[in-house]
Amino acid sequence: MTTIKSLFATRLYHAQLGKIDTAELEASCIAIAEDDEAGQNWCEEHGYPGYTSYASLTDLPWRFPIFKDLVGVIDQHVAAFAKDVQFDLGDKQLVLEDIWINILPEGGIHTGHIHPHSVISGTTYVAMPQETSAIKFEDPRLPFMMAAPARVKDVREELRQFVYVVPEVGDILLWESWLRHEVPMNMAEDERISVSFNYAWS
Ligand SMILES: [Fe+2]
Mean per-residue pLDDT over the chain, rounded: 96
SS3 at position 177: coil
For residue 114, the CA-to-ligand 1 centroid distance in Å is 6
For residue 35, the CA-to-ligand 1 centroid distance in Å is 24
For residue 182, the CA-to-ligand 1 centroid distance in Å is 7
Per-residue pLDDT tens digits for 106-130 = 999 999 999 999 999 999 999 999 9
pLDDT of residue 19: 86
For residue 38, the CA-to-ligand 1 centroid distance in Å is 21
User: What are the residue ranges in the chain where pLDDT is below 70?
Assistant: none
pLDDT of residue 62: 92
Question: Rounded distance, CA 33 to CA 53, Å?
Answer: 7
Hey, where are the domains in the chain?
Answer: 12-201
Handedness of CA 153, 159, 161, 165 (dihedral sign): positive
The per-residue b/e assignment along 64-77, b for 16 or more CB within 10 angstroms, e otherwise, is bebbebbbeebeeb
Question: pTM here?
Answer: 0.96
Per-residue pLDDT tens digits for 94-107 = 999 999 999 999 99
For residue 181, the CA-to-ligand 1 centroid distance in Å is 6
Q: Which CATH superfamily is domain 12-201 in?
A: q2cbj1_9rhob like domain (2.60.120.620)
For residue 188, the CA-to-ligand 1 centroid distance in Å is 20
For residue 183, the CA-to-ligand 1 centroid distance in Å is 8
For residue 1, the CA-to-ligand 1 centroid distance in Å is 43
For residue 4, the CA-to-ligand 1 centroid distance in Å is 33
